[in-house]
Amino acid sequence: MKLIAGIALASAIAIGAPLTAEAATIVAKVDISTQTMTVLHGGKVKYRWKVSTARAGKVTPSGTWSAKWLSKNHRSSRYNNAPMPYSIFYNGNYAVHGTDQISRLGRPASSGCIRLHPENARVLFEMTRREGLKNTRIVVQR
C-alpha cells in the first residue's frame, strides 16, 4: 500500500498535479460550524475531538495546508506570551495547538488558531513528527 501511495505521489509531482488532503498520511479536518476536528490516518478516522476556533471579531481561515513547522513548548509572541503547547504551524502565524482553556473547547474562543485539549494536541503533534510535515494536512471548513 505504501508503495502504491509513493508511486501516486511521485506521479503527481512529475506531472505537476496539485497534492490534495487525501494524498497525506495524516489529515486533520476542522469543521468550524461544529467546532470539531476529525483526524484521519491512512484514510481512516482515528480521532474526533472538540476544538475552539476564532471568536467573534477574529478569523480562522478556511482552506487546506501542509504542516510547516513544529514547536513543542511554543509561547505566543502576539498574545502576552500565552502558552501554545504542541504547536503545529500551517499558515503563517496560524497553528493547531493545545490550550489551558479546556472549558472553552467546543465553541469559538481563540484569536484564530485551532485550540485542542493539550493531550489531544500532544497526540497530533507526535503523529505529525512521526509521519512528517509533508505528510500532514490541515483542512479547515466552514
**Residue at 106 is within a domain:** yes
DSSP-derived secondary structure for 107-120: S--BSSSEEE-HHH
pLDDT tens for residues 21-63? 657 999 999 999 999 999 999 999 999 999 999 999 999 999 9
- Is 3 part of a structural domain of the chain? no
Q: Is residue 91 a part of any domain in this protein?
A: yes
113 in active site: yes
We report the CATH number of the domain holding residue 54 as: 2.40.440.10
Can you tell me the distance from the alpha carbon of 116 to that of 130, in angstroms, rounded to the nearest whole number?
A: 19
Residue 82: inside a domain = yes
DSSP letter for 131, please: H
Helix residue ranges, H only, the chain: 2-15, 118-131
Asked about 74 being catalytic, the answer comes back as: no
Query: What backbone torsions phi and psi does residue 5 show, to the nearest 5 degrees?
Result: -60, -40
Q: What is the pLDDT of residue 9?
A: 43
- pTM for the model stands at 0.84
Retrieve residue 25's grid coordinates.
498520511
- The band of 20, judged by pLDDT with boundaries at 50, 70 and 90, is low
In a domain, 113, yes or no: yes
Domain around 47: 22-141
Q: Is the pLDDT of residue 119 over 70?
A: yes
Q: Please state the domain count of the chain.
A: 1
99 confidence band (pLDDT: 50, 70, 90): very high
Among 41, 74, 113, 117, the one annotated catalytic: 113
Is the CB of residue 86 less than 8 Å from the CB of residue 128? no
- Please indicate, yes or no, if residue 26 is contained in any of the structural domains: yes
pLDDT score of 23: 75
Query: Do residues 116 and 51 make contact, with C-beta atoms less than 8 angstroms apart?
Result: yes
Which of 41, 74, 97, 117 is the catalytic position? Answer: 97
- Structural domain includes residue 12: no
128 lies in a domain?
A: yes
